[in-house]
Amino acid sequence: MNPVTETFECPTPLKSYLFKPDSYLPLVIESEGMSLIELWDWLTVNKSWLDQTLLKHGGLLFRGFPLSTPQEFDQFIHTIEPTTRPYIEGQSQRTKIHQQIYTSTEYPADQNITLHNELSYTSNPPRRLFFFCQIAPQEGGETPITDCRKVYDKMNLSRRDRFINKKVRYVKTMHNGKGFGKSWQQHFETSDPAKVEQYLQQSDVNFGWKENGTLVTSQVRPSVLQHPESGEMCWFNQADLWHYTNLGAIGDELVRLLGEENLPTNAYYGDGTPIQPEDLSAIRQLFWNEATLFTWHQGDVLILDNRLTAHGRKAFKGERRILVAMA
């Protein structure tokens, strides 16, 4: 499937082109000497074009603009998006840098991160993601991106139907300040249990507290979604990322040490039955097979439609600083 039969001509004075002739994701929007003031004006005037083009391509890569700070990245975002959101319920380690801007996942540099749609397990996932390359890595560190429409279409039919019918149950164990993974205070950016409980009740999440202050949550979410604007079907879940097999031998060791019921994160079918590891492995491989990789340049900004496009990370060498915001 290729949902893009033509690319909308980019409004002057910028130019746009496909990153690869055979890949419509991402569309590159490039500048030669545009100032930030001129960029803010261009974004404001051409917001409708950006919305329409992002819906077609699923990802836009702005390149050649003089952005260098988190504050300038924040201005870029808010020129086209009125509000951003905190990383509530997020499972990965991040540091808040400015306003609602965070570091990308702080995960060992020598390991890849499985492709996924951000916070797809929440009751209200982000519509859009914004990535900013403040420091480009010396080697590797690409953010692979995959069209979830293609994943849906190419998924083995019996596997796809099984996931659609059973849905996915996400189970999370969050310690009270000491243990594996993130604490519940880090997950919800508060130390007030009442605020956490209110959020969970409003978000259709089952929860319980252990005597030692550990919080355990469980929520069932769909495996796919129909895009609310385009009507296209997309693969949209993080079962393969949450399941302990995603960590390989480390996951097996965590099960041995903690017991499967005490893992920081794990995934099951919606009815609580186990998901076969071979299914999860096949899903991960399909995402990687369909992924587009590009080398980060300092100052790059990548906008993704989070419903249409999954993202991950390749291992890297040297310093790498990619900032992220969600809307």
Q: Is residue 321 part of a domain?
A: yes
Neighbours of 124 (CB within 10 A): 9
165 and 278 in a single domain? The answer is yes
Give the pLDDT of residue 2.
Answer: 43
Give the pLDDT of residue 180.
Answer: 83
Q: Is residue 69 part of a domain?
A: yes
91 and 176 in a single domain? The answer is no
Give the pLDDT of residue 54.
Answer: 97
CA distance 60 to 14: 13
Q: Tens of pLDDT along the chain (327 residues)?
A: 444 444 557 888 999 999 988 888 999 999 988 999 999 999 999 999 999 999 999 999 999 999 999 999 999 999 999 999 999 998 888 889 998 999 998 889 999 999 999 999 999 999 999 999 999 999 999 999 999 999 999 999 999 999 999 999 999 999 999 888 899 999 999 999 999 999 999 999 999 999 999 999 999 999 999 999 999 999 999 999 999 999 999 999 999 999 999 999 999 999 999 999 999 999 999 999 999 999 999 999 999 999 999 999 999 999 999 999 999
Q: Is residue 10 part of a domain?
A: no
In single-letter form, the type of residue at position 161 comes to D
107 and 42 in a single domain? The answer is yes
Work out the widest C-alpha separation in the chain, in whole angstroms: 62
Q: Is residue 45 part of a domain?
A: yes
Q: Is residue 3 part of a domain?
A: no
Count up the domains in the chain and report the number.
2
Which tokens in the block code for residue 277? 């590891």
301 and 191 in a single domain? The answer is no
Give the pLDDT of residue 93.
Answer: 85
**CB contact at 8 A, 192 and 199:** no
Please give the helix or strand (H or E) that residue 163 lies within, else none: helix 157-166
**Domain range for residue 171?**
150-286
Q: Is residue 2 part of a domain?
A: no
* CATH code, 139: 3.60.130.10
CA distance 15 to 206: 49
CA distance 146 to 313: 12
Q: Is residue 103 part of a domain?
A: yes
Q: Give helix then strand counts, H and E, for the chain.
A: 10, 19
CA distance 168 to 131: 28
28 and 84 in a single domain? The answer is yes
216 and 279 in a single domain? The answer is yes
181 and 240 in a single domain? The answer is yes
Q: Is residue 1 part of a domain?
A: no
Neighbours of 231 (CB within 10 A): 7
302 and 271 in a single domain? The answer is no
Q: What is the pTM of this model?
A: 0.94
User: What are the C-alpha distances in Å from 115 to residues 124, 236, 251?
Assistant: 19, 11, 18
235 and 136 in a single domain? The answer is no
19 and 46 in a single domain? The answer is yes
50 and 112 in a single domain? The answer is yes
- 241: Cα within 13 Å, side-chain hemisphere: 22
156 and 282 in a single domain? The answer is yes
